Amino acid sequence: MSKPTPRILHLHSTFDAGGKEVRTVRLINAWGKDAEHAIVSGDIERRGAASLLSRKVRVSWPRFPSLSGKPTPGRLKRLAAAMAGYDLICTYNWGAMDAVMAHTLFADVFSLPPLVHHEDGFNEDEAIRLKKRRNWYRRIALGRTAALVVPSKKLENIALDTWRQPRTRVRRISNGIDTRSFAAPASRDALPGLIKRKGEFWIGTLAGLREVKNLGVLVKAMRRMPEDWQLVIVGEGPERKALEQLAIDEMVEDRVHLPGFVDQPERVVGLFDIFALSSYSEQFPISVVEAMAAGLPVIAPRVGDISEMVATDNGPWLTDPGDDGALGDALWELTGKPEERKRIGKANRDKARAQYDAMAMTDQYRALYWGLMNRNSPS
């Protein structure tokens, strides 16, 4: 007799279209009707990634206690009670850590299923240095998790050394994408309200418009770029107005474009000639993999695993973290080297296809999740 369809609960502080949310959607879509998913966004107004879900999947949006607040026993008990009745619980980043603590304290009381916690990086308040109190809280909260999944070597080391998690609990699964979908040429009018004209070149990035992304550096750098180069920042977020005003202040508003969020990056990344990333903090950014799959050179600081992600040929074009001047210098220099851009782009594409395709990632997550639910992997 076959077991009923497994029910997986996903707890996110927000469900806007960032790296972890997009990965969650891709996994849900890949598994189709082999599982039912309940998704909680701590901020109900921020559920932009929901538009990426396939119509064929089974997804619900249950009412759930707030994921934020003081971790009092009563509040944690309410969180634990709301997690009952599922076959697997998936929590994501610091914003869901109270739910992880609730599971550790009350799993036996409510007969809770296994919990897998996912850490993909840190917000502005921990971009430079992790907070000691949070590290202590994480150590305790993660005490009964079935697995702690991280995408990067840096996060793996933090989990083992700083959070003191056992080796058997920590799983490193690299983020992956459908690399072949980024190979097709992009249409010049693929972005709403923006057309790439003949003779134009684009510095582009895919990023949530948040402070930690340090996007103002790219805007300021445009004052130095040749006149035939434009900056295109694809994404949405709270820093939009500040970036628009900065472009005006720097007198480059005619060459800085913020077309908003796009749900199919494979249709637009190919319009870029250079991919730029300027974040204070990253771990294993999917956007870099997407740029590599599209055959682009990458200018970025050496944060997270980026220096290991890109092809060897791309290595000299990475800059020291926090050195905004060096980032601008690298962009300016690469704009004048079309053959170098082509050579690096090809090397990045080859590496992306060889190491970062979505199939391997999906298989690893499926093996982990279904194994914890004591089910054979779905066919």
Bigger pLDDT: 126 or 266? Answer: 266
If asked whether residues 300 and 365 sit together in one domain, one would say: no
If asked whether residues 213 and 90 sit together in one domain, one would say: no
Bridge partners of 234, per DSSP, are 206, 260
Is position 379 within any domain?
no
The percent helix, strand, coil of the chain (3-state, each to 5) is 45, 15, 40
Per-residue pLDDT, 129: 79
What total of structural domains would you count in the chain? 2
Is position 149 within any domain?
yes
Q: Is 150 helix (H, G, I), strand (E, B) or coil?
A: strand
Per-residue pLDDT, 2: 66
Q: What percent of the chain clears pLDDT 90, i.e. is strictly above it?
A: 80
Residue 271 gets which letter from DSSP? Answer: G
Mean pLDDT of 235-243: 94
Per-residue pLDDT, 126: 67
Q: What is the 3-state secondary structure (H, E, C) of 75-125?
A: HHHHHHHHCCCCCEEEEECHHHHHHHHHHHHHCCCCCCCCEEEECCCCCHH
CA distance 24 to 245: 34
If asked whether residues 198 and 168 sit together in one domain, one would say: no
Does the structure show a pLDDT above 50 at 378?
no
Q: Mean pLDDT lowest for which of 8-12, 78-82, 352-356?
A: 352-356
If asked whether residues 346 and 264 sit together in one domain, one would say: yes
If asked whether residues 155 and 194 sit together in one domain, one would say: no
Per-residue pLDDT, 192: 87
CA distance 195 to 186: 11
If asked whether residues 120 and 195 sit together in one domain, one would say: no
Rounded to whole angstroms, what are the CA distances from 171 to 6, 160, 176, 356, 368?
Answer: 22, 11, 15, 17, 9
Is position 11 within any domain?
yes
If asked whether residues 254 and 341 sit together in one domain, one would say: yes
Rg (CA), the chain: 21
Give the H/E segment covering residue 9.
strand 7-12
> Which residues touch 320 (CB under 8 Å, ≥6 apart)?
301, 302, 326
If asked whether residues 258 and 325 sit together in one domain, one would say: yes
Mean pLDDT of 307-316: 96
**16: confidence class by pLDDT, cuts 50, 70, 90:** confident
If asked whether residues 237 and 303 sit together in one domain, one would say: yes
Does the structure show a pLDDT above 60 at 144?
yes
Closest to 346 in 3D by CA, of 301, 292, 304, 307: 292
**Sheet order of strands, 147-150 included:** 58-60, 36-41, 7-12, 88-92, 115-118, 147-150, 170-172
If asked whether residues 98 and 18 sit together in one domain, one would say: yes
Does the structure show a pLDDT above 50 at 243?
yes
- State the average pLDDT for the chain: 93
CA distance 144 to 126: 24
Domain enclosing residue 114, as ranges: 7-176+358-372
pTM score, two decimals? 0.74
Q: Is 351 helix (H, G, I), strand (E, B) or coil?
A: helix
Is position 241 within any domain?
yes
Token output for 324: 């905004």
Is position 377 within any domain?
no
Find out whether 43 and 13 touch, Cβ atoms under 8 Å: yes
CA distance 365 to 379: 14
Write the pLDDT tens digit of every residue in 178-199.
Answer: 899 998 889 999 998 899 999 9
If asked whether residues 223 and 237 sit together in one domain, one would say: yes
Per-residue pLDDT, 379: 43
Query: 């294993």: which residue's tokens?
Result: 284
What CATH number corresponds to the domain at position 73?
3.40.50.2000
Per-residue pLDDT, 33: 94
Rounded to whole angstroms, what are the CA distances from 25 to 32, 48, 151, 256, 347?
Answer: 11, 11, 16, 30, 29
Is position 2 within any domain?
no
Token output for 226: 């040749």
CA dihedral 271, 273, 274, 277 (to 10 degrees): -10
Q: What percent of the chain clears pLDDT 70, i.e. is strictly above it?
A: 97
If asked whether residues 230 and 188 sit together in one domain, one would say: yes
CA distance 299 to 345: 11
